[in-house]
Structures are given as structure tokens and as C-alpha cells.
Amino acid sequence: MEVVRSVSQWSAGTSQTEDSIHRAYCALIEEAEHFIYVENQFFISGLSEDDVIQNRVLESLYTRIMRAHEEKRCFRVIIVIPLLPGFQGGVDDSGAATVRAIMHWQYRTICRGKSSILEKLCSKLGSTAHDFISFFGLRNYGRLFDGGPVVTSQVYVHSKVMIVDDRRALIGSSNIMIEVYWGRETQRYATYRIAVLIEDKEFVVSSMNGKPWEAGKFALSLRLSLWAEHLGLRTEEVAEIKDPIAETTYKDFWLEIAESNTKIYQDVFSCIPNDTIKSRSTLRQSMSHWKQKLRHTTIDLGVAPDKIEFYQNGERIVMEPMTKLKSIRGHLVSFPLEFMSQEDDLRPMFIEGEFYASPQVFH
């Protein structure tokens, strides 16, 4: 076990800046043989040519994926982050500038513009880029009270975990953003970051891409515990996801459950965020529609109608929301890559106070 941290004279009184968390992230990614799993509250990073965002976690991921492609090897990166940033306000509300700013930098990292990993990978690999890296969120549902309305909200991801090859794990307080790595944090965020790098010394028999693999006892158990919860697996099913990159695990469990859950939530709640809402005007129309129909809805709390209607094989079906929701497994859903995609710039406008803050506050 190794302790790594992000500190500077400003945050800890040290004479030198220390960025060992950043270096640990990049080294673990570059040394990964088969698989990387990430859970983090944020995902904001830059490629090598990015002169705005300085941390290079994204560049390490891009380089490692391209190497796997050139070697014609199966390699997967799975990233789980919040569906929306957890700040006060919606997306289009007054006072929501911070939310939009974080969204801007995250989508810029993930899939929008030449500085995003998916756009750069797709330009080289086409649609197969999505076989190498994919993004997800978590969602749940229930009744507000006995006999009350059926509602949904995201399960807010606040963990900061990376598991590599079921052998190594990095766990701590560091968000994937710029300043936590370079030790020059602004007052917007915590003044000190620390993490532990755990490398297993005790191994158990497992498999990787259909072949025997010695997995670390701790790293494997951590991943299986997280995945069993996210996928809603019964105890006897957990063994079926032991191989993290096999087609049967990735496509038949991970992708199948995420896509199925996403569709069910959309059918019942028309959840926000979702891929059909690509502009602020469409968002306003959707919010207005549901407020008129249900008399209450917010961007972070979806309320189901008393009855839901949909068509199946040309036949109109009417049912209770909870009946449809019984098919949900776990909490995993797809990350809405197309949400607000027609908005050129989600950053604060000059009439909002956040406009005058340094951009580094948000990334």
C-alpha cells in the first residue's frame, strides 16, 4: 500500500507542490493490461494538445486505448459518474451556472469537440471506439411515502475509485479534475487530497477475456461488490461477472442491464437528463409539459403519472408505473452523451456571477 497526495504551499504549507495522485492515475492507466474501472464524482481532463486543462488522465487513457487497438487486444475502460453535477439548481434555472459549467467541461472531456476522447477515438477507430470506453450513471426509484407518488432520482456518485486488472486499486478523495492533481487547489474545492494505492499480494484464481488470470483478492472482491450492487445481481449470479472484459459480462450483463434500465426509466418518467433533450428550448418544453401534467417535477426528481401508456407490437398498453419498474435491475443506466448537445457553450454568461470566476474553479 502506498499513500499519495495532492498538496502545495497554499493547501498544506509544504515548500514544494506534490502531484503524486495525478502521477499514480496516469501510471496505473499506462500499465493496465486488460481493464480499467473508474467511479468518480467528476470526469474532467485533457489530451496532450489541450492547453486549457492540464491534468493528463485523459491522454493516458487515449494512449492506452490506441495501443490496445494497434495490438488488436481486447481492452475496456468503464467509467461511472453522476448523471448531473450535484450543485444547487437545475440546468436552465437562474443560479444554475455552476451546474452548466461543470457539464460543459465534462462533455468537452468525454464527447464534444476535438479535445474529447470519444471524438478523437472515433476519428481513428470509428464506432469501435465504444467497445474500448463507455460511460454510465446510476439511478433509483421508489415512493416518496406509503401510497405516495412514484419518483426517481439519480444515485449520486461521490466515490473516487479506480480498479485496474482486478489487481490494483486507487481509492481516496481526489476528483478527476485539474487542481487536485497539481496541488494548487482553489478555495472552491477541498484544501487537501489524499489517496491510497493498493496493490494486491494475495491472489485468487479468476479469468480475463476467457483465459485464466490471477486476480488480486482485494481488488477483485471490491469490483464484484460494486458491480453486484450496480447490476442488481443475486448471490449466485456474481460468479458470472468474474471476467470483467468477456463478451458475456460486458454485453450480456453490463450493457444489456444499463440499456434496459435506461429505456424503462425513460418510458415511465421521461427522465432528465436524457439523450432526446438536446437544447435548452427542448428542456424548457419538457419541463413545462410535465409540470402541467403532474403539477410538480424538478430536474433532479422525476415523478411518474398515475398510469403509463405505451405501444408494444402495435398494441396500446396501460399499466401502473410500479409494474413496469419491476423489470429494473440494480441502479446502472447509460450516461446521456447527447444531452444538451446542440448548445454550443454551457459556460456561465456575463450576467451570471460565475462568469467572473477563473475557469479553473470549474475544472
CA angle 307, 139, 216 (to 5 degrees): 145
Helix pair 57-70, 117-125: axis angle to 10 deg: 20
pLDDT tens, N- to C-terminus, the chain (363 residues): 898 877 665 555 555 667 889 899 999 999 999 999 999 999 999 999 888 888 899 999 999 999 999 999 999 999 999 999 987 667 877 667 888 888 999 999 999 999 999 999 999 999 999 999 999 999 999 998 998 999 999 999 999 999 999 999 999 988 887 544 444 444 334 357 889 999 999 999 999 999 999 999 999 999 999 999 999 999 999 999 999 999 999 999 999 999 999 999 999 998 999 999 999 899 988 888 877 777 666 777 889 988 988 788 888 989 999 999 999 999 999 999 999 999 887 766 544 555 445 455 544
3-state secondary structure 328-357: CCCCEEECCCCCCCCCCCCCCCCCCHHHHC
Residue 87 confidence (pLDDT): 76
pTM for the whole structure? 0.91
Report long-range pairs for 263-266 (Cβ below 8 Å, ≥24 apart).
264/324, 264/325, 264/327, 264/328, 265/139, 265/141, 265/152, 265/302, 265/328, 265/333
Task: Specify the pLDDT at position 74.
Answer: 97
The number of beta carbons lying within 10 Å of the beta carbon of residue 92 is 15
Q: SS in 3 state form for 272-325? A: CCCCCCCCHHHHHHHHHHHHHHHCCCECCEEECCCCEEEEECCEEEEECHHHHH
Pairing mode, if any, of strands 76-80 and 133-143? Answer: parallel
DSSP label at residue 239: G
Cell numbers representing residue 82 in the block? 453522476
Query: What cell numbers appear for 95 in the block?
Result: 443560479
Residue 253 has which C-alpha cell? 450483463
What pLDDT is recorded for position 288?
84
Identify whether the C-beta of residue 138 lies closer than 8 Å to the C-beta of residue 332. yes
Q: What is the DSSP string of 127-174?
A: GGHHHHEEEEEEEEEEESSTT--EEEEE------EEEETTTEEEEES-
Contact 355, 349 (CB under 8 A): yes
Spatial distance between the Cα atoms of 176 and 192, rounded to a whole number of angstroms: 14
Cis peptide before 273 (omega within 30 of 0): yes
Give the side-chain half-sphere CA count within 13 A for 279.
5
Q: What is the per-residue pLDDT for 291?
A: 76
- H-state helical runs in 161-245: 179-182, 217-231
The mean predicted confidence, pLDDT, of the chain is 88
Q: Which domains does the chain have, with CATH numbers?
A: 2-361 (3.30.870.10)
Contacts of 265 (CB under 8 A, 6+ apart): 139, 141, 152, 271, 302, 328, 333
β-pair partners for 302: 152
Residues 296, 297, 302, CA angle at the centre, nearest 5°?
Answer: 130
